[in-house]
Amino acid sequence: MKKLLLLIFVILCSCQSDKKEKASTLSQPTLQQILPPEPYFVDIKVNDVKLAEPVFGDWLYSRNEKGQTYEQFIKTKHVVPSKEENIIYLQPIGTFNSLQVKQIELVRQYLQIFFQLETKVLKEVSNDIIPNNARRIGDVGQEQFLAGYILTDVLKKEKPDKGVALMAITEKDLYPKPEWNYVFGLASYRDKIAVSSMYRMQKEADFNLSLDRLLKICSHEIGHMFGLHHCIEANCVMNGTNSMVETDRHSLRLCSLCQRKLNSGLKYDNKKRLLELEKYFKGNKLNEGLELMEKDLKSIQ
């Protein structure tokens, strides 16, 4: 009888221990909210550039976005990589010339550094995958694909091994709905899928400028998939954009707040990431990005 009572006592203690452990795990976001930011994020904040007042035609001129605090980010459900899902995939759709193929590979390299997650390019698929009812002719005679169709009828059906995010890249222009002229990219955060277009990135631009634009759009859309909302405080790659002119004004860099949000789930080494970004920008002669990384590195030394 005593042995039976002892066994019951041990089981009850074990159950209570499990409950406490689970409770601790569930309360972790609350602890994160009240903890001050790590020194890294405090040190690089000096390099944040306040976002200028929007002018007519800018994203924020006609949109009353509230922004997203760190506490709001923590409380909101968002994608966090795991051992089962930790690879970013790129799905090319269309027929690409040699320079475009090179840019897609450079985007892959960049995203792997930016998010500190393995990134792979899937075998390209033909434009024939887009039916006539998801195509139209745009305002200057260009063919456009319906971005939502690519998300729901192409990407949503794909299940790449260990995929945490899947982004299509097309050489055709995109539109999100009939009343809109175009969109640079579109993401479904719940489904972990997105699409970006190279079409407008290359207009009146040399290789490096079009690459710079593509890096901004792709990192922006995948940033959304990891829970980042539009940034309204600093000049940041997570700023909303209405035009290529506005995109060119925006920074390649994540501001200190957006970096803190991203790092909370991905748990990468901040200095390692900066050093790798610095090397990437230097190797690809992207001088603006290089200057930004050098400033951040100087701030943490």
Enzyme catalytic residues? 221
Structure tokens at 104: 């897609």
What distances in angstroms separate CA 176 from CA 127, 170, 199, 201, 244, one per listed residue?
17, 14, 15, 17, 17
Structure tokens at 217: 């759009």
Type and span of the H or E element at 170: strand 163-170
**Alpha-carbon span 230 to 228, nearest angstrom:** 7
Q: What angle do CA 272, 46, 217 make, to 5 degrees?
A: 60
DSSP letter at 132 equals G
Cβ count near 137 (within 10 Å) = 10
**Alpha-carbon span 133 to 87, nearest angstrom:** 32
Structure tokens at 90: 């790129």
Cβ count near 122 (within 10 Å) = 15
**Alpha-carbon span 48 to 36, nearest angstrom:** 18
What distances in angstroms separate CA 264 from CA 62, 79, 195, 236, one per listed residue?
31, 11, 25, 18
- For the sheet with 173-175, list strands across it: 135-137, 143-146, 173-175
Which amino acid is it at 68? Q
